[in-house]
Every structure is written in C-alpha cells, then in structure tokens.
Structure 1
C-alpha cells in the first residue's frame, strides 16, 4: 500500500485554515491512478482560469462575472452530467472529468468553484441532500445553482427536491426542518468527505475491495474522529485478507463505541478473523 500518496494526502488535509480542496480532491484519484501528476491537473485548471479572466473587466459586477463563467463552463467547454453512466467512478475523479467533460454534481462543482474563486466570486459548496449544490453570494442576494447544468434554483424548486428526503428521514410535520438548514455552505472537509463517500458507495456496490480500501484509508485520514470509518477500513481489509490489520481496526471500533448498534456483528467478525488467522 503506497504510504507516500497517503502521506501527501494527509499533509493536504491536516489543517482546516489552509485546506487546498481542489488539490486534495484531485489527489484522491491517486489510489486508482498511481501515475497521476496532480500538478498537471492544477496547471490545466489555471489555464482555464486565465482564459476566462481575460473576459472580465474591473468594473464588472459579480452577477456579470457569474454569467460569463457559466457560459464558458457549460456552453464553451461543454461540462455536464454523464447521463449514460452516472455511477462510473471516473465521474468523481477530477482529472478524468477534465478529459471527458462529464461528471456528477460534486465533481463539476469543485471545478466550477475553483474557477469562480479565481475570478474573486464568493462561491461555496452546499451539501444538499442527494444533490450537491453551489452557492454564489452576489450583492443582489444568494444564488443556489445546480452544478450539473448551471441552472439557478428557486426556493420552491429546492423545497420540492428536499421533500422526498425529509419524508424518507421522517422529518415532517412537527419536525419539519426549514430549507435554510440545508443551504448553509459546507466546509472543505465536509465537501471532501462527501466526495469520498460517493466513491465509497460505488466501490462497495461494485465489490471492488482494493479500490474501496484506497478510499477508506483517505476517509480515516480526513475524519480522524469518525471511528466508523476505521471499522469500514477494517471490513475492506478483511475482504482483501489483510487479517491482522482488519482485526486491529475492528477492535478499535469495538473499544471506542460501547453503545453502537452493530457491536455484536463486529465482535463476531473479529472472532472469525482470529480463527482464520490461526489457521494460516
């Protein structure tokens, strides 16, 4: 397991005040593309940023800048959703999204946000349920934008998107949470954890354990207090027959989460793994 890449990723995400989100998101792909040169992708981004900057003048308002950026990103460069294969992991890897111009909301948002920041737009990511959004603060007010298409969404449209989620979670009636709760901007760490968890879900479903382990290692680094990610790394290790480290991860979870609902299951798995280990 390449520790060098993990050390590099760890160095990027260590500090919330200096958190190079775009670079860290590009770096995630190194587990699947070990030869990826991150600086090349960053250079490509800067090149796109320089091109769009040439169209901006000092007296332009932010709303005009946003319009120019949207036009450039969606019309000229042709970024958009991969409708044919939404669950292709490459939709999440930024270097691949660059090549194909196809992504999912969060990967497109990351590129759009980076370009927006280069134009000094006040642009943030929003971890909206089931669909990542972008929020741009303008003098006229807040714009919530769908990063798949660049469409601005009204409160009514956002509420319609939110309602099925609220229903599924049982947040209706007395417990109705206001829309504004779901529209606050997310920290870089929150955005990157959502980005990684998308990949985690895909690789779990596809049972690609080696790939899943690469993601889990990064989630454990990114979220040092999330002991359930340590458990899940243990489960991935067990699938790959790395029995000793798998037991250690699961044991840590059992020791730290005395009231977790899945303790019995995890304890059983530890016992099974220990038996396997003895017979090796």
Structure 2
C-alpha cells in the first residue's frame, strides 16, 4: 500500500492488539491527515499535563463519583470545555487537537479526551456506543454509572439513559442490553471516522470522505457498507477499475443485500465501459 505519512502512522497506531492501541495517538493520526503540520507529541504531552493537574486535585478517598466530580470540575468549570451545540457538524469537532484547542466537540471526541485523562490518573473507564449518543463509564464490577462528556460530565443511571435516547430520537425508546456494551478501540476509531465520513459527504467533500472510508477499512477490512460506499465514490470519481473491484467485493460479502440488484446493474454498466 502506498500511504501518506499520516496514513502510515495511523496504520502503525492500530497495528497492536486492540487493548494496547493508544487511542489518543490514533486519533491524532486521524487529525494529522487534515493538519499535516500537527505535532502529535505536543498534544500527547498536553494530555499528560492535564492529567497531572487533575491528579493534584483528587480527593483523598478515590470513590468513583468523587473522581468523576474532580475530572468534571477541572474540564468543565476550570477549563470551560463544552459540547458544541451551535455547530455540531463542524468537522473540527471530531479532531482531538481541535477539541483540545477550542475546548469543544461532539460526544465521542469529548469522551475520548475524558477517557485519556482518566487513563492517565489510573481511573479506568470505557466507551459506551449507544445509538445516537456516546457515553463513558467507570470500569468496575456491575457499574451502573454513566458519564455524558458532551453534557458537562453529567452522571447518568440507566433510566436517565433511556430518557436521553428518547430525546435524541424524539420518541420513546426501550433500553436493550446491547446499548450498553463497551466499544473496542477499533470500534471507537471507526465511529469517529464514520462521523467524519458523514460530515464530508454532506458537504460533498468526496476525496475527504474517501479518505475516511479508507481508514475505516484499515480497521475493518471486510466492512461491507464501507466497501460498497468506497466503490460508489470511486465510480463518482471516474476511477472505474477500483469501483468495479470494490462493488464486486461488496456483492461477495453481502450477496443477499437489499441493494444487490442495483449494485449488480451498476457493475453491468461498468462492464460495458471496458
């Protein structure tokens, strides 16, 4: 593969086993593709400094809720971090360097910042990829505490989560156990990139959307929707050989897909152009 330097560094960052992936490093590699001059080490050092400042403020008794209150006070009161409601779909909200600099972002990006500080003070937390919203929770047995990093670190219990989802979808939502499953590091990064993909497609930034898909496929090479969407973008860019390869691969992965007939028809048109 012919990778640019940021892409190569991202590939290296996601190469270790999932539980050893450095999420902050990988996220900054995603950002470096947008900001080629980005100094990744400087932002990692910033996270170290932030965590050290939190550690100085920790209470003597490290009960989970007390630690969460300490992190919340530091991030949201002292530094003024907040969810970006005014311009939610600004791509800068998804880049960790911009989140740190501008002190705002979307739920998953603010959750990443929170997780990285918690990790550095040895307070393990994990991401919870609920549909339509991203939360985090402390890692201890039968934890029923969730933290909404987008909403000032608000502490939620399962019933609060149901209400939050009902607000997101504007209709009653019944909780299901899969809503509360922790996400792996690769799933976390793929969700960040999927957000960027959607933003770029809505703005018709086809090349940038293609770059997001390429990186999702580095994480999950056989993700059928991404293979299909990359093939369709290749077709849009008149890169017909690559389009044909991806669309054929999509039908191999999903022969019973709802759009299989439409994709097969597109492949027939590509065959006629050969």
CA positional deviation for 1:166: 8.4
User: Counterparts of 2:142 and 2:225 in 1: how far apart (Å)?
Assistant: 42
Structure 2 residue 13 is the aligned partner of structure 1 residue 12: yes
Distance 1:140 1:3, change over 3 A: closer
1:186, distance to aligned residue in structure 2 (A): 1.6
Does 2:161 correspond to 1:153?
no
Cα deviation code 1:22-58 (max 9, x no counterpart): 2112211233222223222211111211222222366
Cα distance in 2, alignment partners of residues 273 and 39 from structure 1: 46
Residue 2 of structure 1 deviates from its aligned partner by 4.2
Equivalents in 1 of 2:107, 2:85: separation in Å?
A: 12
Distance 2:36 2:270 in 1: 30
Aligned to 1:129: 131
**Cα distance between partner residues in 1 of 2:180 and 2:245:** 39
Residues 63 and 138 in structure 1, CA contact (< 8 A), matched pair in contact too: no
Give the match for residue 213 of structure 1.
210
Aligned counterpart for 1:23 among listed residues 25, 29, 39: 25
Cα distance change, pair 260–164 in 1 and its aligned pair in 2 (3 A) = farther
Q: How far apart are the structure 2 equivalents of 1:138 and 1:75?
A: 26
Task: Give the alignment's Cα RMSD to 1 decimal.
Answer: 2.6
Query: What is the CA-CA distance between 1:220 and the residue it aligns to?
Result: 0.6
Give 1:102 deviation, angstroms. Answer: 1.0
TM-score (structure 2 length as normaliser): 0.88
- Seen in structure 2, the aligned counterparts of structure 1 residues 274 and 4 have a Cα distance that, compared at 3 Å, is farther
Q: 1:248 aligns with which of 242, 245, 256?
A: 245
Quote the offset at 1:21 in angstroms.
1.5
Segments of structure 2 that go 5 or more residues without pairing to the other structure are: none
Report the CA distance shift for 1:259/1:114 in structure 2 as closer, same or farther (over 3 A).
same
The CA distance in 2 between the partners of 1:140 and 1:66, in whole Å, is: 17
Q: Which has the higher contact order (CA 8 A, sep 6+)?
A: 1
SS at match of 2:155: coil
1:92-241 equivalence runs, <5 A: 92-137=94-139, 141-148=143-150, 149-163=152-166, 178-241=175-238
Query: In structure 2, what is the Cα distance between the partners aligned to 1:187 and 1:156?
Result: 24
Structure 1 CA distance, aligned partners of 2:33 and 2:267?
Answer: 27
Which string of whole-angstrom CA distances, capped at 9 and with x for unpartnered residues, describes residues 51-98 of structure 1? 222223665434322211110011111111112211101100111111
- TM-score, length-scaled by structure 1: 0.86
Provide the aligned length of Structure 1 versus Structure 2.
271
Structure 1: state its 5+ residue gaps. none
